[in-house]
Amino acid sequence: MTDRPERQPALAGRYGPTATVALLALCPNIALTTALPLAQQRVVTALHTSTFGTQLAAGLSNGGYALGAVLAAYLVLRFKQRLLFLATETVFVAGSVAAATATSPAQYVVGRLLQGATTGLMLVIALPPLVTRFGSRVLPRTAALVNIGLFGAVTIGPLLGGVAGESASGWRWLLAVVALAGAAGVVLAALTLEQRPPFDESQPPDWSAFALAAAATFLPFLAVSELSSGGAASPLFGAPLGVGLAALVVLIVRQYRRSNALMPVQALSTSLPVLGIVAAMVGGAAVVALTTLTTAGLLDGQKDSTLVTGALLTPQVLGVAVAAFAFARLFPTRWLPLQVLVGILLTGIAGALLLAPEDHALVLAAAALLGLGAGSTVSPGLFVAAFGVESDKLGRAFALVELLRAEAAYLVGPVVLYAAEQSADPAQGLVRSTWIVIGLVIAGTGLLLLLARLSRVRLRTPDLDGWLEGRGQALPSPPTGAVVREQLSGTHS
């Protein structure tokens, strides 16, 4: 007697609903990362806590996001996507409700932690099937949607936070809307996601990787949360940060050496993935840090209201939209890496404009450039990295790239803001910290150009059909170390 095929939901196999499910999974919490800082004082007052309490919640949420992506790399192998997504999105709704109705700092922290962790899980659960199951014809559109989901939501956050910060309970209403968006995601996913078997139920759990990933994510974010209370001299800053970053290095080395690794570090150590990861890390860190510094300058330095501050940063949305359109057009061509390089340069120019936060016209122009920079670096860098690995490893590759990107994006911002606040003249401190970020952009650009030169990367048109059909990489990507050694030995000879 043969098994009867499982009944599929009403909207199964339709691109539009599947893409909407992915966006509903990613956008709400990612928008909160830039929205809630503007409503921070309202949360502090309502929960009778301190700045440390809200920053701890943000740090644990960001750490949970990075760890969730790593855990999902394993869970997608062992469990059905539909069941895993529905369970994860339901927990996200529960976390959002807990944060929105919080009556104590502990309840708020737990809610934010659940929001971050489940978003990281859903990133790896929902995005790879959207990329690989609908063919190369719609892949550029998918890439643009991923761009909006990963960084477009960040750019709308300041406006949402500015509105929420205008009233005592605005932050609760914002979190309630996020919970409703999650609930809509549960319903739509139940009607859309197909019944598919797990990828590899025989894959054993890699407990050492889980432990190292937990240390590599939570310890550094706990450390930067301590900056608001104990400062950089506190052992609760230096020790966790050092141990966490050491755990990240050990995790990557161990994954590189494993034959059946949880994350394909060997494949991601070739030329294209290395370039894509560096671009995503530099671009993400610079955009988040510049947004953080500008927000502080407008709120504390210029004494602008949260609404005005959010409105001044809103041109980022237009910038991301333009970048997403360009991304879709360039995606199937050989020119995509150039968009990444241009995006990083535009981010540096935005930083230069933000050296004068008292000039609102310059802030508006810089915000638009920041949006262009964000939309031209993070998601394009993610896909440049993906082109160097086989499509069946996409989810696990996304996990490592997002782990590294999240570490860079959400650690640099608090550190440069702390450095600015330690200055005797806060305005000059913000200027110096902005120069530090501009220096990071310049150094990152130089590193990318050097790696591209040493790796002899050429502009080629990707083989999207072959990639999606499992016939190898979309673009040739030789091992970075071997090519660099060959180049250096040729130079010396």
Residue predicted with more confidence, 133 or 174: 174
Residue 4 has pLDDT above 80, yes or no: no
Residue 270 forms beta bridges with which residues?
Answer: 479
pLDDT band for 108, please (50, 70, 90 cuts): very high
Q: Are 217 and 402 in contact (CB under 8 A)?
A: no
DSSP track, 179-207: HHHHHHHHHHHHHH------S-TTPPP-H
The pLDDT of residue 1 is 45
Question: Residues near 384 by Cβ (< 8 Å), separated by ≥ 6?
Answer: 272, 273, 275, 276, 279, 336, 337, 340
Question: Per-domain residue ranges for the chain?
Answer: 13-195, 207-261, 264-493
Closest CA to 54 of 156, 213, 163, 171: 171
pLDDT in tens, 263-272: 888 888 888 8
Q: Is the pLDDT of residue 346 over 70?
A: yes
**Alpha helical stretches, state H, 235-270:** 235-257, 265-268
Residue 441: which H helix or E strand, with range?
A: helix 426-455
Q: What's CA 263's distance to the chain center, in Å?
A: 17
Superfamily of domain 13-195: MFS general substrate transporter like domains (1.20.1250.20)
Residue with tokens 């535009």: 346
CA atoms within 13 A on the CB side of 23: 16
Q: Which residue has the tokens 């802030």?
A: 363
Cβ-Cβ contacts under 8 Å for 454 (sequence gap 6 or more): 483, 484, 487, 488
Element (H, E) at 396: helix 394-421
**448-465 pLDDT, tens per residue?**
988 888 877 788 899 999
> pLDDT tens for residues 53-99?
898 999 899 999 999 999 998 998 888 889 999 999 999 999 999 99
Report the half-sphere exposure of 115 (CA within 13 A, side-chain side).
Answer: 33
Structure pTM? 0.90
Question: Mean pLDDT throughout 319-327?
Answer: 92
* CATH architecture type of domain 264-493: Up-down Bundle (1.20)
Average pLDDT in the chain: 88
* 13-195 and 264-493, same CATH topology: yes
Which has the closest alpha carbon to 150: 352, 368, 349, 323? 323
pLDDT of res. 422: 85
Q: Which of 199, 208, 188 is nearest to 93 (CA)?
A: 188
The backbone torsions φ and ψ at residue 270, rounded to the nearest 5 degrees and listed phi first, read -80, 175
Measure the CA–CA gap between 155 and 164, rounded to whole angstroms.
15
Beta partners for 479?
A: 270
| pLDDT attached to residue 490 | 58
Measuring CA to CA, which residue among 367, 445, 449, 440 is closest to residue 408?
A: 440
User: Of 231, 280, 249, whose CA–CA distance to 414 is shortest?
Assistant: 231
